[in-house]
Chain A
Amino acid sequence: MSVSTASPPAGTKASFFERLSQSRNGLGLLFMLPAALFLLCFLTYPLGLGVWLGFTDTMIGRPGIFIGLENYEYLWHDRVFWMSVFNTVVYTAVASVLKFVLGLWLAIILNEHLPFKTFFRAIILLPWVVPTVLSALAFWWIYDSQFSIISFVLMKAGLISAPINFLGDPTNARLSVIAANVWRGIPFVAISLLAGLQTIPASLHEAAALDGATSWQRFRSITLPLLTPIIAVVMTFSVLFTFTDFQLIYVLTKGGPVNATHLMATLSFQRGIPGGALGEGAAIAVAMVPFLLAAILFSFFGLQRRRWQQGGSD
């Protein structure tokens, strides 16, 4: 009796696993589960929490209540917030353009037959592999108002009479942090574009040379068009990294002088953690989302296969 009642559930259980092991979709779901859990815990939850906090008046040590769009209304009239938006856009635009131009230039040089080519390719990655905080500290010294090596050299050369106030003057500070960001970001752009350059067959350049193209014409009509798909990827990532930059600014200027170098990320942290206004800080962070979405959409369309990439195979 007991045997007969126990056996049917055992039978269905076995057949469930059997069916699962046969089912493509079932197995697929099963295998995705760990990754999905990971993403839920570490990506979706913090993001959701951030968005939620933006709608509350939570302070450190005080659970908040839902206040709707009040944080955003407040920010709308906050000149410091708008200054940080302006700073972030300028910072991202100028640094990205510089990184692109200099990175492409470097990639093209490294793609030529140079002596010690592999050595140069390796050291070019240094700024990228050094922890940001470390390189930021180095820049902090380079930009020091008294002991700056740049000021020292220029004074020795007789070009200036007093040390440059790199981080104390709003314009100088903005330029200085942009320079540090460009220095740090170039390797990523250069190495990625170098990889792209190496996918362009040499025979295309040779064919173009025989067709009568000068080196500039070869660059314009062969290299650049064939590199566009990779440029789209690289620059999207570069823009996202730059837009969300935090460490460099926080070590170098903490947003100063007079908020001249506050980015949205640093302002969000400043208001949320040291300032204690978690809700307001979260709202600033959420305000970055539309900009980032725009960059992603740009890359989405930029990354679409162009007409010449479609159909057939090589």
Chain B
Amino acid sequence: MASVDIVDVRKYFGAHPVIKGVDVQIEDGEFVILVGPSGCGKSTLLRMIAGLEHISGGEIRIGDRVVNDVPPKDRDIAMVFQNYALYPHMTVADNMAFSLKLKGASRSEIEDRVKPAAAILGLSAYLDRFPRQLSGGQRQRVAMGRAIVRDPQVFLFDEPLSNLDAKLRVSMRTEIKSLHQRLTTTTIYVTHDQIEAMTMADKIVVMQDGRIEQIGAPLELYDRPDNLFVAGFIGSPAMNMLHGRVDSADPSRFVTRDGVVLPLGRPRPDLTGRDLVYGMRPEAIQLGGSVSIQVDVIEPTGSESQVIGRLGAAEIACVFRERVSVRPGEMMPVSIDPAATHLFDAADGRRITAA
């Protein structure tokens, strides 16, 4: 096990920069998730840690060792690929034992390592099968088994669940998390799915366009997003965002472009005259109150009710624990918990902290 330090790492494809100076400190034993939309550079960063991509600038350290020029095979890391990359001509057992065989491990040693790993992953019955004869979830487990057998310093996962169906994805999520709790090996995991990031990570690194937008614990990102991008990316349904200004007559009120009046936690006379974005999570909206929403769509999920409606001209989503009995087209009175709202500068998208 080891810590991983990424210091001002850059990557160019030709003259085109894809990673534009990234700093991340990953503690020993931490589960870190790199998350961001397609093309944000998260997979490239992971492949640079693995040694599969050359590092154009900066430094990557695994433990105390700078690995910039260390070939992948000497970095002591294991990686689970999106397409699993199982060797099709080897059985499950041989796939898992491949790295040990290369190291010249004895047959009994290989068995001692492969058997327990297979047992952990529920693969004991499939050791003699070939990858083609397995289901997607089983292949996924073999790929993880191959990594576990290595007992590496760091596990790398490159969107490992994106080829699985929704139900399997949820159960594999739990499995990977409990596996990490059991092995406590430093893990870096790439995904574009913010739910995966929220549910599994100790620390989330949100990336966009080759830069880091924010690093923090899942709930930290959820409760205090640094900017509009993170606010919109983390959370589902996404945060509602309304453009407007602080009311100059009464600085404890926010007035949207459409003239809708919303409460602020406390008066912000310092912000009057600035173009702002008012953010509220769908669950910050409660039933009953002085603000009225015109209901467009109601989506009951059983445990909660999602209501999509309009506040002025802006579309907003609400999530209620209660079951609601409104109908499309009706006006629904709601209130907003001012403590659960966020203010962002409309110009640069940054969070405005309490003055």
A210 to B132, CA, bound (A): 22
A304 interfacial contact with B, CB 8 Å: no
What 0/1 pattern do residues 188 to 213 of A give for CB contact below 8 A with B?
00000000000001011011111111
In the complex, are the beta carbons of B85 and A213 less than 8 A apart?
no
B130 contacts chain A at the CB level, 8 A cutoff? yes
Which residues of the other chain, B, contact A24 by a CB distance below 8 angstroms? none
Residues in B with CB closer than 8 Å to A221 are 87, 98
* CB-based nearest B residue for A310: B132
Contact mask A244-286 → B, CB, 8 Å, 1/0? 0000000000000000000000000000000000000000000
Does B166 interact with chain A (Cβ within 8 Å)? no
Considering the chains assembled together, what is the distance between the CA atoms of A212 and B150 in angstroms? 10
Q: Are A206 and B81 in contact (CB under 8 A)?
A: yes
Are A308 and B90 in contact, with the CB atoms below 8 A? yes
CB of A88 to closest CB in B, whole Å: 35
Interface set, chain B 113-155, CB cutoff 8 A to A: 130-134, 146, 150
User: Is A217 in contact with B132, judged by CB distance below 8 angstroms?
Assistant: no
Contact B72 A222 (CB under 8 A): no
Q: Does A12 contact B (CB under 8 A)?
A: no
Task: Say if the beta carbon of B99 comes within 8 Å of chain A.
Answer: yes
Specify which chain A residues have a CB less than 8 angstroms from the CB of B87 in the assembled complex: 204, 207-208, 221-222
Tell me, yes or no, whether B17 is within 8 Å of chain A by CB: no
- Chain B residue with Cβ nearest A309: B132
Which residue of A is nearest B101, CB measured? A221
In-complex Cβ contact of B52 among A209, A308, A312, A314 (8 A): A209
- Asked if residues A209 and B81 are in contact (CB atoms below 8 Å), the reply is no
CB distance from B321 to the nearest CB of A (A): 44
* CB contact list, A282-314 vs B, under 8 A: 306-314
B310 to chain A, nearest CB (A): 47
Chain A residues with CB below 8 A from B98, complex form: 208, 211, 213, 221
Report the interface size class on chain A.
20 to 34
Given A226-B89, A312-B134, A213 and B52 contact (CB-CB distance below 8 Å): no
Given contacts A206-B85, A308-B88, contact A212 B103 (CB under 8 A): yes
Beta-carbon contacts under 8 Å, B311-341 to A: none
B347 on interface, CB distance cutoff 8 Å = no
How many angstroms from the CA of A209 to the CA of B76 in the assembled complex? 11
Taking a contact as CB atoms closer than 8 A, the residue among A214, A225, A307 that contacts B73 in the complex is A214
A207 and B89 contact, CB distance less than 8 A: no
CA distance A210 to B75 in the complex (A): 8
Complex Cα spacing A312 to B139, Å: 12
Chain B positions within 8 Å of A213 at CB level: 73, 98, 102
A209 touches B72 (CB 8 A): yes
Interface residues contributed by chain B, number (CB under 8 Å) = 28
* Neighbouring B residues of A214 by C-beta, 8 Å: 73
Residues of B contacting A222 with CB < 8 Å? 87
Contact B85 A314 (CB under 8 A): no
Inter-chain contact B79/A217, CB cutoff 8 Å: no
Report yes or no: A210 in contact with B133, Cβ–Cβ below 8 A: no
Known interface pairs A210-B73, A210-B78, A214-B73; A308-B132 also in contact (CB < 8 Å): yes
B125–chain A nearest beta-carbon distance, Å = 16
Residue of A nearest to B50 (CB): A210
Check if A210 sits within 8 Å of B77, measured CB to CB. Answer: yes
List, in ascending order, chain B residues with CB within 8 A of A206's CB: 50, 52, 72, 79, 81, 85
Contacts of B85 in A (CB 8 A): 201, 203-204, 206-207
Chain A 164-178 per-residue mask, 1 if CB under 8 angstroms from chain B, else 0: 000000000000000
Nearest opposing residue in chain A for B132, CB measure:
A312
Chain B residues positioned under 8 Å from A212 (CB to CB):
73, 99, 102-103
- Of residues 219 through 257 on chain A, the ones whose CB sits less than 8 Å from some CB of chain B are 221-222, 225-226
Tell yes or no: B289 within 8 A of A by CB.
no
List, in ascending order, chain A residues with CB within 8 A of B51's CB.
209-210
Q: Which residues of A contact B50 (CB under 8 A)?
A: 206, 210
Residues of A within 8 A of B77 (CB): 210
Cβ A226 vs Cβ B72 within 8 A: no
The verdict on A311 contacting B133 (CB below 8 Å), with A201-B85, A207-B85, A211-B98 known, is yes
B101 to chain A, nearest CB (A): 9
Residues of A within 8 A of B90 (CB): 308
Instruction: Decide: A201 near B83, CB < 8 A? Known: A210-B78, A212-B99, A225-B89.
Output: yes
Chain B positions 72-110 with a Cβ under 8 Å from a chain A Cβ: 72-73, 75, 77-79, 81, 83, 85, 87-90, 98-99, 102-103
Q: 22 A–B contact pairs at CB < 8 A?
A: A201-B85, A203-B85, A206-B72, A206-B79, A206-B85, A208-B98, A209-B52, A210-B51, A210-B72, A210-B75, A210-B79, A211-B102, A212-B103, A213-B73, A213-B102, A214-B73, A217-B102, A221-B87, A226-B88, A308-B88, A312-B134, A314-B132
